[in-house]
Amino acid sequence: MPNITDNLADIHQQIENSTKNIGRHQTDITLLAVSKGQPAMAIRQAYEAGQRHFGENYLQEALEKQHQLSDLQDIQWHFIGPIQSNKTRKIAENFDWVHSVDRKKIAERLSAYRPEEYPPLNVCLQVNIDREESKSGIAIDDVKSLALDIASLPKLKLRGLMAIPQGRPTVYEQQQPFATLKRLLVELQSCSPKLATLDTLSMGMSGDMEAAIIEGSTILRIGTAIFGPRQYPKNT
């Protein structure tokens, strides 16, 4: 079994070192523990070590674990996987954040299904930053118009952008797509008062965390470096 408590401490240390090197503050970065494929017990261990933000990719798997962990009151659940339209109600009802919005129809449904008494659902637009045919995410050229559409939906709070770049061998090369995402965010912030409050760059995983911090990541999505290898395959 990997030692989740030690791994979390190591990652916090890395975040501290990397931010200090470039004059950023450690507290400007949220560590999102990506717990897909991990049992509820692993989440509980991370929680006991102080971790509060957890990311899941598959709705059914997430709902089962949320149920098993319902005694842990102050967890923030983030949905980070591809979203099918027929899953939008359960996602809107059971998560605090959604990072993977890439279509207007999905955004509209999430807003419509978000319960009235809940705060607005925090969302990020997923951008297909490397223009990959097979990847989800909106094309760079379409980001602005979708962002403006989402900003006017009543039960969503657009927070920023998310991307999953292709793997690259060096930190310098890894920085390039993250720099592009950062530039896109800055463009959005200045193009309309409705987008001026965007504050989130969801970027950086176990293999490219350093590069993401250098380019301004505010949410790191880290799975295997915290929990070790995933224990079961996906089941949507």
By CB under 6 A, name the binding residues for ligand PLP: 34, 36, 57, 80, 164, 205-207, 221-225
- Cβ-based nearer residue to ligand PLP, 143 or 155: 143
Smallest gap, in angstroms, from Cβ of residue 218 to ligand PLP? 14
Q: Which two three-digit tokens encode residue 114?
A: 């978000």
Report the alpha-carbon distance of residue 176 to residue 166 in Å, rounded: 11
Q: Which two tokens stand for residue 126?
A: 């997923």
Residue 79 Cβ vs ligand PLP, minimum distance, rounded to whole Å: 10
Element (H, E) at 7: helix 4-22
Q: Provide the minimum distance between the beta carbon of 62 and ligand PLP in the complex, in angstroms, as a whole number.
A: 12
Query: Which CB sits closer to ligand PLP, 117 or 143?
Result: 143
* DSSP-H helix ranges across 30-103: 40-48, 59-68, 88-94
Q: What are phi and psi of 74, to 5 degrees?
A: -105, 25
The nearer residue to ligand PLP, 98 or 146, going by C-beta atoms, is 98
CB 166 within 8 A of CB 206: no
Structure tokens at 119: 């705060």
Least distance between ligand PLP and beta carbon 210 (Å) = 13
Residue spans of alpha helices (H) in 116-165: 143-151
Q: Which is nearer to ligand PLP, 36 or 53 (CB)?
A: 36
CB of 41 to ligand PLP, least distance (A): 18
Q: How buried is residue 82: exposed, middle or buried, by Cβ count under 10 Å (0-12/13-18/19+)? A: middle
Nearer to ligand PLP, 182 or 221 (CB): 221
Q: Which residue is nearest to ligand PLP (CB)?
A: 223
Minimum CB separation of residue 81 from ligand PLP in Å reads 6
Q: Which is nearer to ligand PLP, 31 or 34 (CB)?
A: 34
